[in-house]
C-alpha cells in the first residue's frame, strides 16, 4: 500500500510540474499594461517587441516556445533583438481590445506573432503556419522571420556603404 501511495504521489507531482511548465500564457495578465512595459524596455535596449499571441490550450504555441528555447542560435537571435511577451487568448481572456488595436492578428490562427517597433507601432504580423514543417517548425524559415524583423534589418544605415 505504501508503494502505491508513493507512486501516486510521484505521478501527481510529475503531472503538476508538467502542467506548470506549459503555463506560458497568463489569462489574468493585463496585456495592454504589459505591452506598454515591453515597449519601454525595447526602447531602452534598442530592440523590437515580439508578441507571441496564443494560449496554454494551443499545442503549436507550446511547440514554438520549445522550438526556440531548445535551439541556442534561435534563442540568442531572439534575446539579442526582441523583448518577448506572450499575450493570452483563451475563453478566460480573449484580450479583444488589445487585438483590435493590433488589427486582429487572431485571423491567422495561433500562435500568431506581432512585431512592434520601439515606439509601440505594429510593423509586422506573422502567420505561424508559414513557419511550420511537418509536425514542427522549420529552422530556416523561423530564422529568416526573426532576422528580417530585427532593428538592424529595418535600419537604413545597414544598407548604406
pLDDT by residue (tens digit) across 90-108?
999 999 999 999 999 999 9
User: Is 7 a member of any domain?
Assistant: no
What nine digits make up the cell of 16? 503538476
Q: Write out the residue range of the structural domain in which residue 52 sits.
A: 27-153
User: Is 5 a member of any domain?
Assistant: no
Model confidence at 86: pLDDT above 70: yes
**CATH number, domain with residue 46:** 3.40.30.10
Number of domains in the chain: 1
pTM over 0.75: yes
Amino acid at each position: 500500500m505504501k508503494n502505491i501511495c508513493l507512486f501516486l504521489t510521484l505521478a501527481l507531482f510529475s503531472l503538476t510540474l508538467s502542467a506548470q511548465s506549459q503555463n506560458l500564457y497568463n489569462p489574468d495578465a493585463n496585456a495592454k499594461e504589459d505591452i506598454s512595459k515591453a515597449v519601454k524596455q525595447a526602447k531602452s535596449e534598442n530592440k523590437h517587441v515580439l508578441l507571441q499571441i496564443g494560449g496554454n490550450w494551443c499545442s503549436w504555441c507550446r511547440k514554438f516556445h520549445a522550438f526556440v528555447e531548445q535551439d541556442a542560435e534561435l534563442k540568442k537571435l531572439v534575446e539579442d533583438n526582441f523583448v518577448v511577451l506572450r499575450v493570452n487568448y483563451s475563453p478566460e481572456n480573449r484580450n479583444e481590445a488589445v487585438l483590435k488595436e493590433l488589427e486582429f492578428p487572431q485571423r491567422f490562427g495561433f500562435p500568431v506573432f506581432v512585431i512592434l517597433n520601439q515606439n509601440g507601432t505594429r510593423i509586422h504580423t506573422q502567420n505561424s503556419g508559414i513557419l511550420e514543417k511537418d509536425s514542427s517548425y522549420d529552422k530556416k524559415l523561423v530564422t529568416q522571420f526573426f532576422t528580417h524583423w530585427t532593428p538592424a534589418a529595418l535600419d537604413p544605415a545597414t544598407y548604406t556603404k
